[in-house]
A and B are shown apart, each in its own frame.
Chain A
Amino acid sequence: MFTSLRRVISGGTKNFVRSGAVSVATVIIMSVTLMIIAFLVFLSALLSYTLSQLQDKVDVSVYFTTSAAEGDILNLKDQLQQMPSVATVSYTSSDEALMQFKQRHENDQLTLNALNELGTNPLGASLSIKAKDPTQYQDIVNFISNDTALQSGGTSIIDHIDYYENKDVIDRLTAAIRTTERAGLIVVIIFALASTIIAIATVRLAIYSSRDEIGVMRLVGASNAYIQGPFIVAGVFAGLISAAVTLLIFTPLTWYLGQNYTTWLAGFNIFAYYTSHFLEIFGIVVGAGVLLGGFASILAVRRYLRV
């Protein structure tokens, strides 16, 4: 058993080395396939990074009237925080709003003078709400609008909600995000399938040139497993080398992209992603290479093994 295993492994290695040009061609095609797969990993990471960045920018602000009691607002804040669809709620008091306003206009003496003339603080408090998912804003806004506790003496303490002003933009963004996600997934599947089929065809072609050899092995009395073994080993070997080539090429490539295109990619540093997710990417690339090489070899040899 151990002897056969050793012979199969050494036979497969010799096979791979002596097939020269055919092995090189197989490795190149498989490397391209693995690069496409690795590229898709980056693409989906970039996509989800961009999506989360966009989602982060979307929020809803509720502005209260100047007469609203702070207790009522904090009460609403607590209620909102208990909603499962709400990610964060931040409270800005009317004093803070005034301070921020003054800071923004510190070089604008005219505005500051006008503010001082008023004598009172004209700015109300506000709540800024972030949802976990952009589709949930409508529910949150409905909740706030229907909350009867916010009515003090028949008039609402809410001055306005800027959701209605941003609704159109938010809706469009949500739709765009969904479409991009779906399209991205379809593209990923098509590319992965196409490149896998090409890699399998290449391995088949490499083994096609050995079909007479397989016939001879059968006539010499070799068992099917003993014939198949070295081809599978050679396939797995090609997969491992292709994986190494892919990882080696991606190191300087992602470094270059990280150095020069991080701003262009909206702050997504591809090299930082590569190094922080190296084990994951290594696993995907090496696993895909080994599976691809082994599986393609099994498929290809089986054709010529019928007794």
Chain B
Amino acid sequence: MIYFDNVSKIYRDGTPALEDVTVSIDPKEFVSIVGHSGAGKTTLLKMLLAQEKPTRGSVFFESMNVHELHPSAVPHYRRKIGMVFQDFRLIPNMTAYENIAFAMEAAGRADDEIESDVPYILELVDLSTKANHFPSQLSGGEQQRVAIGRAIINQPDVIIADEPTGNLDPINTYEVVEILKKINELGTTVLITTHNKGVVDAMGKRVITMDRGRIIRDDPQGQYIL
């Protein structure tokens, strides 16, 4: 489903961010990418989102070469992927409801669909009572749950979560991981990067370990080893 073919990214000043990365991810997999800061985890995700171009190699999503897409096709492509970030990145002057609805509006969905889907998703992430709260009125865990709601609302094929628990306390971390697991069980591919050993070990799923831009380990049922 996702295939990185010999991808290298070397920045203009000569620093390599990725070197000869070849990896393939199947549908419905749950993959954790671990590694020290600067190992290239985030760069890998940015490649998949067409936010960065590889210096060498290609990235394929299904049969599409991501970096050969026409700029006007990029927004369409991104709707197939749900993004969750460490710093939530909600739109500050929109309520929880509107933040989630925005992703549907942007995808051109009809009003009645939005009116029926958003409350359902809010219930799924346990925020029905806070639909009209702005991000500044929500706790970190709640904001991250809104972000997850936004990521899954358009039923994407893949969820990409970049350090989704980096800013959360253990209880919120547990809740977020449980939601991601549930999403995966419902059939969505999940790709997360994390520094949290507890999260990775408890999952017992595939772990890709990166170091200095290279993949140094790829275990189908891995542990957090650095």
Query: B102 contacts A3, CB within 8 Å?
Result: no
Query: A307 contacts B71, CB within 8 Å?
Result: yes
Name the CB-closest residue of A to B98. A14
**Interface-forming stretch among B11-19, B86-94, B207-215?**
B86-94
Q: Which residues does chain A contribute within 8 Å of B103, judged by CB atoms?
A: 220-221
Q: Which residues does chain A contribute within 8 Å of B76, judged by CB atoms?
A: 221
A57 at the A/B interface (Cβ < 8 Å)? Answer: no
Query: B110 contacts A217, CB within 8 Å?
Result: no
Q: Which residues does chain B contribute within 8 Å of A3, judged by CB atoms?
A: 108, 110-111
Name the CB-closest residue of A to B103. A220
B78 at the A/B interface (Cβ < 8 Å)? Answer: yes
The minimal Cβ–Cβ distance linking B101 to chain A, given in whole angstroms, is: 10
Q: Which residues does chain A contribute within 8 Å of B92, judged by CB atoms?
A: 213
In the docked arrangement, what's the CA distance between A203 and B111, Å?
A: 31
Query: A221 contacts B89, CB within 8 Å?
Result: no
Within 8 A of B (CB), among A201-230: 212-213, 215-224, 226
Also in contact, A222 and B106, with CB within 8 A (given A3-B111, A307-B74): yes
Query: B91 contacts A222, CB within 8 Å?
Result: no
Query: B91 contacts A216, CB within 8 Å?
Result: yes
Within 8 A of A (CB), among B34-79: 49-51, 71-72, 74-79
Q: Which bucket holds chain B's interface residue count?
A: 20 to 34
Also in contact, A221 and B102, with CB within 8 A (given A15-B93, A213-B92): no
Which single member of B71, B72, B106, B110 contacts A220 (CB below 8 Å)?
A: B106
Within 8 A of B (CB), among A1-32: 3-4, 7, 14-15, 18-19
Q: Which bucket holds chain A's interface residue count?
A: 20 to 34
Query: A223 contacts B106, CB within 8 Å?
Result: yes
Interface string of A169-204 (1 = CB under 8 A from B): 000000000000000000000000000000000000
Query: B102 contacts A219, CB within 8 Å?
Result: no
Query: A220 contacts B78, CB within 8 Å?
Result: yes
B83 at the A/B interface (Cβ < 8 Å)? Answer: yes
In the docked arrangement, what's the CA distance between A217 and B102, Å?
A: 8
Name the CB-closest residue of A to B82. A220
Name the CB-closest residue of A to B147. A216
Name the CB-closest residue of B to A1. B108
The minimal Cβ–Cβ distance linking B215 to chain A, given in whole angstroms, is: 25
Query: Which of A7, A219, A223 gathers most chain B CB within 10 Å?
Result: A219
Q: Which residues does chain B contribute within 8 Å of A217, judged by CB atoms?
A: 91, 102, 106
Enumerate the 4 nearest inter-chain pairs by beta-carbon distance, A residue then B residue, closest first: A222-B106, A221-B79, A221-B78, A18-B93
5 extra interface residue pairs, beta carbon distance < 8 Å, beyond A216-B90, A221-B75, A307-B74? A3-B108, A215-B89, A217-B102, A219-B51, A221-B78
27 contacting pairs across A/B (C-beta < 8 A): A4-B108, A7-B105, A14-B93, A18-B93, A213-B92, A216-B89, A216-B90, A218-B75, A219-B51, A219-B78, A219-B83, A220-B83, A220-B102, A220-B103, A220-B150, A221-B77, A221-B78, A221-B103, A221-B106, A221-B107, A221-B154, A222-B106, A223-B72, A223-B75, A223-B106, A224-B75, A307-B71
